[in-house]
Structure 1
Amino acid sequence: MKSNNYAPRVSQEKAQVIIRGLKLLVDEKKYRNPKLSAKQFADELNIDHRLISVVVKREHGMTFPAYVNHYRVRELCKLLRNDNSECSVSVELMALKAGFASRQSMSLAFAKELGTSPSEYRKRFSKKE
């Protein structure tokens, strides 16, 4: 791992705890909790929250919030693609179900990840069926 003056060093043991924790975060869909933060996640693992950021950046090349939002966007995409109901569920309701705390955070994360809005994504996908 590259060393800099700002990032704390992470032991291999702690890095493995964090990596296993990240796997559980995804497998158990804990990212759907809109209040999830690096601090809360670190507290669950009994690890300094700064170490979470270091490991996520090293392993995935992104910040912890970006990592969480990546999985929220994927979840929202699944919900948008699987919405077959006669009266469609609102994008906002789906965003809440995917773990976004607000329409604004959802729109920003979705656009950053996919370069489009959830509504446009839904329209494009529904035309393919």
Structure 2
Amino acid sequence: PDKKIPDGLWEVYKPNSEGPSLYFANPKRTAYELPRQDFLPVIGVAVITLFIENVIGFSVDMFLKTVTWTLESYDQVGIENYYLKKNYISMECTRENERWEIRLNSDKLYYLKVRILGERIEKELSIPAGRCSLLPEKF
């Protein structure tokens, strides 16, 4: 690693090498003004987004008001008060003794596509406003 660059998390990284990106488009700025070190608002948004997509398994299409939820072999996973185009949704999935249960709560209608890895279960459903519960093995 280059010892001239201090350690930390950076707002922007170089695309093809190690270290923070350099920004020279504005002549009034110095090279190290754009990639701010430990700039938590940007870093926090990126970490939360990656967690929602890769750990919880959500993929959202805001235009179609559709949530694709890819479930793995976790015992319990979910999210509360997720904002989806003027609609707050809460979804929780639990698994006990190889039996899955999905509990849903929303303010308005939305569409849910459920995929369960390893069991080849995939189903697209219209989820009404209010509370409901699904048993994927009954799909």
Compare the two structures and name the one with the higher helix fraction. 1
The alignment's TM-score, normalised by the length of structure 2, stands at 0.27
Larger radius of gyration: 2
The alignment's TM-score, normalised by the length of structure 1, stands at 0.28
- Which structure would you say has the larger RCO, counting Cα contacts within 8 Å and 6 or more residues apart? 1
Compare the two structures and name the one with the higher strand fraction. 2
